[in-house]
Amino acid sequence: MVYQENATRVSPDFVVRIENPIESATSYEKAITIISESECIEGIADMQQIFQETFPNPDTVCVIPILRGGSRIGKELEESYSPGVINSVPMQMSYYDEYNERMEKPVCIKEPDIEKIISMKDIVFAEAVVDSQATIQEAMKHIKDQIDAYNAETGKHIPYPTFHTFALVSKVNGSTEIPNLVAMFAVHPSIWVHGWGCDNGQEGREKDCIEGMLAPNAMEIPQMPYFRRLFQR
Given this model, what pLDDT does residue 3 score? Answer: 38
With vertex at residue 192, the alpha carbon angle to CA 20 and CA 231, rounded to the nearest 5 degrees, is 85
The residue ranges of every structural domain in the chain are: 20-229
16 has a pLDDT exceeding 90: no
76 has a pLDDT exceeding 50: yes
Residue pLDDT, tens place only, 89-127? 999 998 877 677 788 888 898 999 999 999 899 999 999
Is residue 123 classed as helix, strand or coil in its secondary structure?
strand
**The overall pTM is greater than 0.75:** yes
HSE (side-chain half, CA atoms, 13 Å) at 65: 20
| Cα–Cα dist 83/76, whole Å | 11
Average of per-residue pLDDT across 54-67: 94
| H/E stretch holding 40 | helix 37-54
Instruction: Fill in the amino acid letter for 183.
Output: A
Q: pLDDT: is 177 or 86 the higher one? A: 86
* Percentage, residues of the chain above pLDDT 90: 73
With vertex at residue 115, the alpha carbon angle to CA 113 and CA 119, rounded to the nearest 5 degrees, is 120
Q: What is the mean pLDDT of the chain?
A: 89
Given this model, what pLDDT does residue 6 score? Answer: 41
Average of per-residue pLDDT across 67-77: 93
CATH code of the domain occupying 20-229: 3.40.50.2020
Residue pLDDT, tens place only, 150-167? 999 999 999 999 999 999
Given this model, what pLDDT does residue 117 score? Answer: 93
Cα-based distances in Å from 90 to 80, 130, 185: 17, 17, 23
| Cα–Cα dist 96/108, whole Å | 10
Task: Say how many C-beta atoms besides its own lie within 10 A of residue 27's C-beta.
Answer: 12
